[in-house]
Chains A and B, each alone.
Chain A
Amino acid sequence: MTETVPRRSVDRAATRRWLRDNGVHLAVAVLLLYNLLFTANFATVSNLTTQLVQVAPVIIVALGMAMVIGTEGVDLSVGSVMAIAAALLPLYLGYGIVAGVVVALAAGAACGLLNGVLVGVVRIQPIVATLALLVGGRGLAIVLVDGQIKDIRNDTLLEFGSAKALGIPLVVWLAALLAVAVGLLVRRTTYGRQLVAIGDNRSASALAGLPVRRVLIVTYVLSGVLAAVAGIVATARLTASDPSSIGNLYELSAITAVVVGGTALTGGRVRILGTVMGALLIQLIRATLIKNDLPDSIAQIVQAAIIVLAVYAQRERRAGAS
């Protein structure tokens, strides 16, 4: 009798940990199953494609966010960086698709560099350092295009936004490819392992001679570049560059995806599959509510509740670890 009590509590703790780490997969599976079975017009190719296309830019931004959060940071500027990339794209498309894309990506890298220097070198807290670009970035983007919405007339780009390969849209392929690439980057490269170590224990990492500043700067640059990619994808999908709306509140979606996916805000962990699943989960919740005639507003409230719950679960993990 006395023995069963502790064992059961151990079981319960293990269950809780499993749920925390894999709950997102479970939730995605359950929601998917529910919708496939009960929601009308869900299990169609066109709907599933739409859902994936909608979530693709979120996933791309969330990949960068996952790395930043892995360093115990956060990047609030991603939405604005998307807007800057979207704004620059049509301005340089005249010189060809390559020029446009390169300029947009370079702008994303420059934004990331600013964030990275503020965080890594000047040592400002990440929230504040990236807030400045969140404030100013979108304004800058709108200024760049004179406040206008510019139609995209580049065929290659438009093709990229709508074309499919093996029945799956190119943008979805791109998101998947980037997820694999970031996953490999984090798991297999020197940089990736240093990133995780720095996020887990910065002091120990510095004493072990790791290039802390450089890793932080590179991480924010990558986040900026990925946000720029998402900006390009969103522009191609929209067939127009609209800096005042592109990427709006993406920082929120990306953070939610990362946190719901089991990456702790306290750093030292980058869960790529979890992040992708987190983004899918939010997309599915939205879709479920909308398909069941519940308005977007309810979806937002549900998303808010999920963020708090996810952070609360992470908090317990931290307390349990110490």
Chain B
Amino acid sequence: MTPVSPTGPAGSASPAGPPSPASPTGPAAAGAVTAVTAVTRRERAAGIVQRSGAYLVLALVVLVASLAFDSFATTGNARNIAIQSSFLAIVALGMTFVIISGGIDLSVGSVFALGGVLAAYGMRWGSLAAVLLPLAVCGAIGLLNGVLVGYGRLAPFIVTLATLLGARGLLLVITDEGSITRVMPADSLLVRLAQGSVLGLGWPVWIVVVLFALGAVVLNRTRTGQSVLAIGASRDAALLMGLPVARRTTLLYLASGLLAGLAGALAAAYSGSGVTIVGVGLELDAIAAVVIGGTLLTGGAGTIGGTLCGVLLLRVIQNVINQIGTLGSSYQSVVSGAFLVVVVVIQAYLSREQRL
């Protein structure tokens, strides 16, 4: 279900090396010629928790929910969760790359909403325009973020905070201060695509599958992906290794903008209209999903599969909260926030352990 690359870090954790000396102060033992593991058992356990924790929790939640609610483990509900997850997943994919590079993109929620509104706006010229218009504008916003962060060396959070605001302003301009909701005709190609399904799964879900497979390949199997990991681990080291740091950074924010715009357009087509209030706070869900999925917020490590898992976890929890019925949807964000604290504290603890 989750396209994990064959050589992803999740795979490399499993081969059990020789038992390592437990004390970090002890001699590194066994001579330097063969690989000496410098990782204590506790650390390794913690590492597995970090990389696979999200999968375990997801499995657990699904199991419990299946037992607790008759209506949970049904095909219809699974489809529902899949389609609910797909829009967030696309946004979170771009966010994963940005966070792995050591940055953050707070503008994606606004850009997502803008993408949806632009899609509805562009529909007057046909479905192609309804896709291209949001991609062009959202891509331009992403590019602006990228140039300011990559070449201008401004702090990512403040730059993307500004474009969060700017994109929202632009959106209000297009919708006449939010008073216009443009309906997308149900017979248009884009809407039929977004609402249609094949092999029992909605098209947006298939798009997610393709994009995540591509994302995993890019991260693990291309020089671009590897340089993103290197930039996130240490920008200075990446510069010394001769990697094109500014250009790669710019590319990442551009991709994040494009993906957010695409997700927004698809979401609008799926719901049949470009609504202005969607996307508020989506950046937070995306960041939460990425971090819960095991990507280090300090950059330098992360998996595409983990992010997908994080997205699914958030959406399953949302689904469960809906199943319970008596709980408001706000519990969702409380749970996300709590998850985020736990994950981030574990990560901080881990990275301190790693510094021998």
Asked whether any CB of A lies within 8 Å of a CB of B in the complex, the reply is yes
The residues of A with any CB-CB pair to B shorter than 8 Å are 74, 114, 118, 122-125, 127-129, 131-143, 146-147, 249, 252, 255, 259, 265, 295-301, 303-305, 307-308, 311-312, 315
Task: Scan B280-300; emit 1 where CB is below 8 A from any A CB, else 0.
Answer: 010011011001000001100
Instruction: Name the residue in B158, B166, B291, B336 with the highest tally of chain A Cβ atoms < 10 Å from its Cβ.
Output: B158
B68 is an interface residue with CB less than 8 A from chain A = no
B344 at the interface (CB under 8 A from A): yes
| A300, B158: Cβ atoms closer than 8 Å | no
Q: Mark B326-345, 1 if CB is under 8 A from A, else 0.
A: 00101111111110110011
Contact call B344/A124, Cβ cutoff below 8 A: yes
| A274 shortest CB reach to chain B, Å | 17
Contact, CB under 8 Å: B166 / A122: no
Report chain A residues within 8 Å CB of B180: none
Name the distance in Å between B67's Cβ and chain A's nearest Cβ.
Answer: 25
A300-B107 Cα distance, complex, nearest whole Å = 14
Q: Which of B162, B164, B170 contacts A297 (CB 8 A)?
A: B170
Q: Which residue of B lies closest to A307 (CB)?
A: B162
Tell me, yes or no, whether B324 is within 8 Å of chain A by CB: no
Binds A, one of B41-49, B148-156, B209-217: B148-156
Contact B158 A255 (CB under 8 A): yes
From A134, which residue of chain B is reached at the shortest CB distance?
B284
**Cα of A129 to Cα of B340 in the assembled complex, Å:** 9
Closest chain A residue to B107, Cβ basis = A304
Contact present for A139 and B332 (CB under 8 Å): yes
Check A137 against B337 for contact (C-beta < 8 Å).
Answer: yes
- Minimum Cβ distance to chain A for residue B281 (Å): 8
Given A127-B104, A300-B166: A136 in contact with B337 (beta carbons within 8 A): yes
On whether the beta carbons of B341 and A132 are closer than 8 Å, the reply is: yes
CB within 8 Å for A133 and B158 given contacts A128-B344, A295-B173: no
B345 adjacent to A304 (CB under 8 Å): no
Q: Which of B168, B171, B335 has the most CB of A within 10 A?
A: B168
Instruction: Give B163 Cβ to nearest chain A Cβ, in Å.
Output: 6
User: Do residues A308 and B284 form an inter-chain contact, with CB atoms below 8 A?
Assistant: no
* Number of chain B residues whose Cβ lies closer than 8 Å to a Cβ of chain A: 46
Which of A141, A143, A297 touches B172 (beta carbons < 8 Å)?
A297
Decide yes or no: A255 and B161 within 8 Å by CB, A135-B333, A143-B328, A298-B169 being known contacts. yes
Given A132-B337, A300-B169, A308-B148: A143 touches B344 (CB 8 Å cut-off): no
Tell me if A131 and B340 are in contact (CB < 8 A).
yes
The yes or no answer to B159 lying at the interface (CB within 8 A) is yes
Cβ–Cβ contact B331 & A124, under 8 A: no
Chain B residues near A134 (CB-CB < 8 A): 284, 337
B337 and A135 within 8 A (CB): yes
Chain B residue contacts of A124, Cβ below 8 A: 297, 344-345, 348
Q: Decide yes or no: A131 and B287 within 8 Å by CB, A124-B345, A143-B334, A265-B155 being known contacts.
A: yes
Contact across chains for B331 and A139 when beta carbons are under 8 A apart: yes
Q: Give A123 to B168 CA distance when docked, in angstroms.
A: 33
In contact, A127 and B172 (Cβ under 8 angstroms): no
Q: Which residues of B contact A131 (CB under 8 A)?
A: 284, 287, 340
For A307, give its contact among B158, B284, B332, B341 (CB under 8 Å).
Answer: B158
**Is there a chain A Cβ closer than 8 Å to B189's Cβ?**
no
In the complex formed, the residue of A with least CB distance to B343 is A132
Q: Pick 8 A–B contacts, CB within 8 A, sort by A.
A: A131-B340, A139-B336, A140-B337, A255-B158, A265-B155, A297-B172, A298-B169, A311-B159
Contacts of B162 in A (CB 8 A): 304-305, 307-308, 311
- List, in ascending order, chain B residues with CB within 8 A of A252's CB: 161, 164-165
Known A138-B333, A139-B331, A139-B332; judge A259-B340 contact (CB<8 A). Answer: no
Nearest B residue to A128 by beta-carbon distance?
A: B297
How far, in whole Å, are A259 and B349 apart by their CA atoms in the complex? 32
- Extra A-B contacts (16), CB below 8 Å, given A134-B284, A141-B330, A252-B165: A118-B345, A128-B344, A131-B284, A136-B341, A139-B331, A139-B336, A143-B330, A146-B328, A147-B330, A252-B164, A297-B168, A297-B173, A307-B165, A308-B148, A311-B162, A312-B154
- Specify which chain A residues have a CB less than 8 angstroms from the CB of B171 in the assembled complex: 297
Question: Of the candidates A125, A299, A308, which one forms a contact with B297 in the assembled complex, judged by CB atoms under 8 Å apart?
Answer: A125
Q: Please give, as numbers and ranges, the residues of chain B lying within 8 Å of A315 by CB-CB distance.
A: 152-154
Residues of B within 8 A of A265 (CB): 155, 158
Instruction: Indicate if B177 sits at the interface (CB-CB under 8 A).
Output: yes
Asked if B157 is at the interface (CB within 8 A of a chain A CB), the reply is yes
Min CB–CB distance B345 → chain A (angstroms)? 6
- Verify B154–A308 contact, CB threshold 8 A: yes
Closest B residue to A123 by beta carbon equals B348
Q: In the complex, how many angstroms separate the beta carbon of B35 from the nearest chain A beta carbon?
A: 31
Q: Is the CB of A147 within 8 A of B161?
A: no
User: What is the distance, in angstroms, from B68's C-beta to the closest C-beta of chain A?
Assistant: 20
- Hey, which chain A residues are within 8 Å of B157, CB to CB? 74, 127
Shortest distance between the CB of B156 and any CB in chain A (Å): 9
Q: Provide the bound-state CA to CA distance between A321 and B162, in Å.
A: 25
Q: Are A135 and B336 in contact (CB under 8 A)?
A: yes
Distance between B211 CB and nearest chain A CB, rounded to angstroms: 24
Are B155 and A311 within 8 A (Cβ)? yes
Specify the chain A residue showing the minimal Cβ separation from B287: A131
Using Cβ atoms and an 8 Å threshold, which residues of chain A touch B164? 252, 304
Q: Which of B177-194 contact A (CB under 8 A)?
A: 177
Given contacts A147-B328, A301-B166, contact A136 B161 (CB under 8 A): no
Roughly how many angstroms separate A142 CA and B337 CA in the complex, as a whole number?
A: 14
- Residues of chain B within 8 A (CB-CB) of A135 are 281, 284-285, 287-288, 333, 336-337, 340
